Amino acid sequence: MHNIAVYPGTFDPVTLGHLDLIGRSAEIFDKVVVAVAPRSKAGGMFGIDERLDMVRESAAHLENVVVETLDGLLVDYCVRRSIRVVIRGLRAYSDFEYEFQMALTNRKLAPNIETLFMMPQEEHSYVTASTVREVARYGGDTSGFVPPTVQRHIERLLREHPEQRIKTGGGIGDAGAFDR
């Protein structure tokens, strides 16, 4: 029997915290499937194909990691692929309530699937993909938050799509955490 886990998320973009959990999961499990959800919440930066590419590029050194699109309900995805463990990251206590609710819902839907909570290394515990997006859109340096390959994707996106940048005095979406 193979020991397989899935690490689901939007990865918009993949951060060093995500990569930390992917790498540590790859040490524990025979195979880790990073399942990239096709829809990112409002304010996403990258489409599904580019997010798949970024995760593949960032995890290319991990031979037992595969990257796929998450097609449908996570528990159905797991059942179809005989995956019994879902990896979820907890950065801070504030993540716990949401993740706990999701884990219990998944357990109700598929009792044989377990959720394993992992914490990123301390230096990555405050980094979120939404923070990276916001810092990037304000023109800040995100290189300390993402793998180099992802940094190149961010720089290319902002160069090719300047409308993604937030201008002083307003811009896309609501006011962000870094303009106060």
pLDDT of residue 168: 65
Residue 158 within any structural domain of the chain: yes
When the pLDDT of each residue in the chain is averaged and rounded to a whole number, the result is 90
The mean pLDDT of 10-36, rounded to a whole number, is 97
Provide the number of structural domains found in the chain. Answer: 1
Global pTM value = 0.89
Residue 175 within any structural domain of the chain: no
Which domain CATH number covers 91?
3.40.50.620
Q: Count the Cβ atoms, other than its own, within 10 Å of residue 63.
A: 9
Q: Which of 27-31, 95-99, 173-177 has the highest mean pLDDT?
A: 27-31
Residue 177 within any structural domain of the chain: no
Q: What is the DSSP string of 66-117?
A: EEEE--S-HHHHHHHTT--EEEEE--SHHHHHHHHHHHHHHHHH-TT-EEEE
Lowest mean pLDDT among 21-35, 54-68, 105-119, 121-135: 121-135
Residue 150 within any structural domain of the chain: yes
Residue 68 within any structural domain of the chain: yes
Instruction: Provide the residue range defining the domain that includes 64.
Output: 4-168
Residue 174 within any structural domain of the chain: no
Cα separation, 73 vs 29, whole angstroms: 22
Confidence of residue 177 (pLDDT cuts 50, 70, 90): low
Residue 83 within any structural domain of the chain: yes
Confidence of residue 179 (pLDDT cuts 50, 70, 90): very low
Residue 173 within any structural domain of the chain: no
